[in-house]
């Protein structure tokens, strides 16, 4: 999810409600509030809790809601915040892998610290997020069986962007309750065919219905031609969605008629003429294919 801001960079809760409704109306079967796309590092602790609580209330149990619970510091501080977020009624509290270990720590150390953190949150359903910030810490496939076997983990947002590594992880997760959601568009279709449980890419903030359609239909033989067309288009369009993100996503949603200002909290960021032209062409391409890939 994105976080809508007013022109003065305060949170626009009315727009947040409408954005939540938009995702659901376009086929989203789960929402990840308070993630990197939400500008979570630019929010205060109170704002994080407030935003997540607002989304949970608006969703009203229609789909699961996940939210990040780790933001650095001593484990007891992170656990305290995790309990606050969990108190909003979320379905999954998501651990950022790089917030528990240093960049060069081995996989076994990562496993040990993740399990230790989970032990401090008994009864809380947890997820894992290979967030690129402060640095990307990929979870080795070798430790996934122990994580899945702990009974605490249900969601993995995978950012490896490597189909070979994704397949290796899926093989380790087969038959467990830990579900892998691929954040990478170029490998999206391949990962679904290999057994991924779903998709969680940044471009779903531009046109969630395209990804919803792909997830719902990727197995259907009678739609194979349309599946390949959509996959090719999403792969090409993905390069543009990354430009000046997440401001680009907010600009695009405004073009779609949502009351979302193209405002982010990172200082000095604006869309230049070239970027707006590319986003306008992206919108044209979206409109060209939108009628063929509705979720209804």
* pLDDT tens-digit series, residues 30-50: 999 999 999 999 999 999 999
Does residue 295 form part of some domain?
no
Predicted pLDDT of residue 182: 98
Q: Which residue range(s) make up the domain with 102?
A: 13-290
What pLDDT is stored for residue 203 in this prediction?
98
Phi, psi of 67 (to 5 degrees): -155, 145
Among residues 68, 59, 64, the alpha carbon closest in space to that of 86 is found at: 68
Q: What percent of the chain has a predicted confidence (pLDDT) above 70?
A: 99
Residue 198 belongs to a domain with what CATH number? 3.20.20.70
Is residue 155 within 8 Å of 147, Cβ to Cβ? no
Distances (CA, A) of 283 to 38, 135, 241, 250: 22, 32, 11, 12
Contacts of 87 (CB under 8 A, 6+ apart): none
Query: How many domains, in total, are found in the chain?
Result: 1
- Asked whether residue 274 is domain-assigned, the answer is yes
For the chain, report the end-to-end CA distance as a whole number of angstroms.
22
Indicate whether 233 belongs to any domain.
yes
pTM of the model: 0.95
> How much is the pLDDT for 266?
86
- Angle value at C-alpha 234, between 233 and 240, nearest 5 degrees: 100
Give start and end residues of each alpha helix (H) in the chain. Answer: 13-25, 45-59, 75-86, 107-119, 144-149, 163-173, 188-194, 208-217, 224-241, 247-255, 273-290
Are 5 and 12 in contact by the 8 Å Cβ rule? The answer is yes
- Give 238-278 pLDDT, tens digit per residue: 999 999 999 999 999 999 999 999 999 987 789 999 999 99
Residue 5 maps to a domain: no
Residues 50 and 218: beta-carbon distance below 8 Å? no
149: in domain: yes
Q: How confident is residue 296, by pLDDT bands cut at 50, 70 and 90?
A: very low
In a domain, 2, yes or no: no
pLDDT in tens, 142-195: 999 999 999 999 999 999 999 999 999 999 999 999 999 999 999 999 999 999
Residue 32 lies in a domain: yes
Flag whether 1 is in a domain.
no
What confidence tens digit (pLDDT) does each residue in 107-144 have?
A: 899 999 999 999 999 999 999 999 999 999 999 999 99
Residue 216: alpha-carbon gap to chain centroid: 18
């Amino acid at each position: 999810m994105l976080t809508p801001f007013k022109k003065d960079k305060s949170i626009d809760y009315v727009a947040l409600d409408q954005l939540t409704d938009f995702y659901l109306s376009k086929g989203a079967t789960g929402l990840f509030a308070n993630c990197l796309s939400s500008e979570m590092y630019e929010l205060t602790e109170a704002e994080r809790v407030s935003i997540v609580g607002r989304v949970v209330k608006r969703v009203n149990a229609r789909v699961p809601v996940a939210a990040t619970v780790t933001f650095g510091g001593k484990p007891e501080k992170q656990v305290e915040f995790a309990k606050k977020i969990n108190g909003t009624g979320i379905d999954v509290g998501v651990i950022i892998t790089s917030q528990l270990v240093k960049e060069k720590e081995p996989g076994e150390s990562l496993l040990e610290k993740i399990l230790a953190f989970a032990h401090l949150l008994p009864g809380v359903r947890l997820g894992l997020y290979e967030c690129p910030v402060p640095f990307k810490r990929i979870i080795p496939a070798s430790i996934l069986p122990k994580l899945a076997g702990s009974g605490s983990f249900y969601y993995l947002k995978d950012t490896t962007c490597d189909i070979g590594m994704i397949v290796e992880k899926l093989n380790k997760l087969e038959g467990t309750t830990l579900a892998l959601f691929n954040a990478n568009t170029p490998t999206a279709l391949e990962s679904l065919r290999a057994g991924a449980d779903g998709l969680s890419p940044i471009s779903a903030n531009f046109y969630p219905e395209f990804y919803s359609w792909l997830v719902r239909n990727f197995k259907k033989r009678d739609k194979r031609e349309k599946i390949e067309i959509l996959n090719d288009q999403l792969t090409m369009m993905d390069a543009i969605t990354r430009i000046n993100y997440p401001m680009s996503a907010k600009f695009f949603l405004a073009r779609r008629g949502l009351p979302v200002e193209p405002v982010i909290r990172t200082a000095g960021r604006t869309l230049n003429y070239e970027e707006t032209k590319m986003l306008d062409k992206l919108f044209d391409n979206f409109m060209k294919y939108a009628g063929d890939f509705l979720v209804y």
